[in-house]
């Protein structure tokens, strides 16, 4: 039974790493596009507007992702569902949080390509660091789901 718990964690880690690697590749591609002057930039007035909108949306979406996952984890812990059901709901809450954070990364990269302003790269890197810190670990899963190691191993 321990193999299934290990498989669950490793598949979730691999998915998280693959999504993070995709973000890194998109960041490198965006910087290459802008530094190679393969695109014409928007006007300066648009730059300031996009900075404000991007910053507000980034914080709102990132905050929403954290609050959403926290609420879902509270629901999972409060329910009397089996360990299998808890793990499945945990996986879906992680995927939703990661999708929201990836949306923020993509939004900022598009703004960077449109304006050529490296402030968007800085915001993108900050969100990517936060995303990287959301990687699933065995201890985090046990603590967030409120289950014991034995219950996870019996999966």
Q: How far is CA 149 from the centre of its chain?
A: 26
Rounded Cα distance between 95 and 14, Å, is 12
Q: Residue 5: what pLDDT?
A: 65
Containing structural domain, residue 149: 2-153
Report H helices in 79-118: 83-115
Cα–Cα distance list, 117 to 27, 37, 49 (Å): 13, 13, 12
Which segments of the chain are extended strands (E)?
Answer: none
- Count of structural domains within the chain: 1
Grouped pLDDT means (10 residues each) for the chain, 155 residues: 73 95 96 85 80 95 95 87 85 95 96 92 96 91 83 73
Q: What is the pLDDT of residue 28?
A: 96
What is the predicted pLDDT for the residue at 1?
47
Token pair of 152, please? 């996870």
| C-alpha–C-alpha distance, residues 117 and 106, integer Å | 15
CB within 8 A of 90, min separation 6: which ones? 73, 76, 141, 144, 145
pTM (2 d.p.): 0.87
């Amino acid at each position: 039974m321990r193999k299934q718990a290990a498989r669950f964690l490793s598949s979730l880690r691999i998915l998280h790493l693959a999504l993070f690697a995709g973000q890194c590749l998109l960041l490198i591609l965006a910087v290459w596009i802008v530094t190679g002057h393969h695109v014409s930039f928007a006007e300066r007035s648009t730059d300031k507007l996009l900075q404000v909108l991007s910053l507000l949306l980034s914080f709102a979406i990132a905050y929403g992702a954290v609050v959403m996952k926290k609420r879902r984890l509270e629901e999972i812990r409060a329910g009397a569902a089996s360990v299998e059901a808890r793990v499945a709901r945990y996986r879906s809450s992680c995927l939703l949080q990661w999708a929201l954070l990836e949306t923020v990364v993509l939004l900022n990269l598009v703004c960077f390509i449109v304006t050529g302003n490296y402030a968007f790269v800085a915001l993108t890197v900050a969100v990517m660091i936060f995303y990287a810190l959301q990687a699933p670990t065995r201890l985090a899963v046990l603590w967030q789901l409120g289950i014991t190691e034995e219950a996870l191993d019996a999966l």
